[in-house]
């Protein structure tokens, strides 16, 4: 399916979705947090889309919002999309986990939690992955201050 066909189909599922082609080959979809899990489930299970491969999940700090960007591909139909979800709640950024849809997301969501502090509802083992439990803060946030390296300088 080409991007226009994907957009036409997917827009019937959830009317509030925003679509853009941000100077890339991928159709970009922005979804509201309350519709994230529903959209992702439909993207994988619908035979016309069949996005069976989550090949990238990244945390993002847009300064005014925290979010997650998902790159999906259908290995059957050979089409790809990007799904973005955002929240302005920097104190408690939380989204639904998609690891029940794509098992590989379990690891990636832990990494995003570790470095950005974004929590994932219904994640089976949400804890730090690389940093110690005693680590204070989330080093990939733009407002993070590295107290240790400031003292060394």
Distances (CA, A) of 18 to 8, 11, 85, 106, 129: 12, 9, 11, 26, 32
pLDDT of residue 149 exceeding 80: no
Using pLDDT thresholds of 50, 70 and 90, give the confidence band for residue 148: low
What pLDDT is stored for residue 23 in this prediction? Answer: 73
Instruction: Please give the tally of structural domains in the chain.
Output: 1
What pLDDT is stored for residue 20 in this prediction? Answer: 85
Query: Model confidence over 91-145: pLDDT tens digits?
Result: 999 999 999 999 999 999 999 999 999 999 999 999 999 999 999 999 999 999 8
What pLDDT is stored for residue 22 in this prediction? Answer: 65
Would strands 18-20 and 27-31 be described as parallel, antiparallel, or unpaired?
antiparallel
Domain of 120 in residue numbering reads as 3-152
What pLDDT is stored for residue 138 in this prediction? Answer: 94
pLDDT of residue 152 exceeding 70: no
- In this structure, what DSSP letter does residue 102 have? S
Residue 16 exposure: Cα atoms within 13 Å on the Cβ side: 9
Query: Model confidence over 54-88: pLDDT tens digits?
Result: 999 999 999 999 999 999 999 999 999 999 999 99
Q: Where would I find the beta strands (DSSP E) of 39-93?
A: 53-61, 66-73, 80-87
What pLDDT is stored for residue 146 in this prediction? Answer: 78
Query: Model confidence over 9-56: pLDDT tens digits?
Result: 999 999 999 998 667 789 999 999 999 999 999 999 999 999 999 999
What pLDDT is stored for residue 150 in this prediction? Answer: 54
Distances (CA, A) of 7 to 34, 73, 123: 20, 15, 29
Radius of gyration of the chain measured on its C-alpha atoms? 17
CATH number at residue 14: 3.30.460.80
Residue 15: CB partners within 8 Å, gap ≥ 6?
none
C-alpha span between 87 and 99 (Å, rounded)? 20
């Amino acid at each position: 399916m080409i991007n226009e066909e994907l957009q036409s189909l997917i827009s019937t599922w959830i009317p509030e979705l925003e679509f853009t082609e941000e100077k890339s080959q991928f159709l970009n979809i922005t979804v509201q947090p309350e519709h994230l899990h529903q959209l992702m489930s439909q993207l994988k299970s619908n035979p016309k889309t069949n996005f069976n491969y989550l090949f990238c999940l990244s945390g993002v700090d847009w300064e005014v919002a925290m979010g997650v960007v998902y790159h999906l591909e259908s290995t059957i139909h050979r089409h790809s999309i990007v799904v973005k979800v955002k929240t302005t709640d920097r104190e408690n950024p939380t989204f639904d986990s998609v690891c029940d849809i794509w098992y590989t997301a379990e690891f990636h969501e832990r990494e995003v939690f570790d470095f950005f502090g974004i929590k994932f509802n219904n994640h089976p083992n949400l804890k730090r992955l690389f940093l110690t439990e005693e680590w204070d803060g989330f080093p990939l946030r733009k407002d993070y201050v590295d107290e240790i390296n400031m003292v060394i300088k």
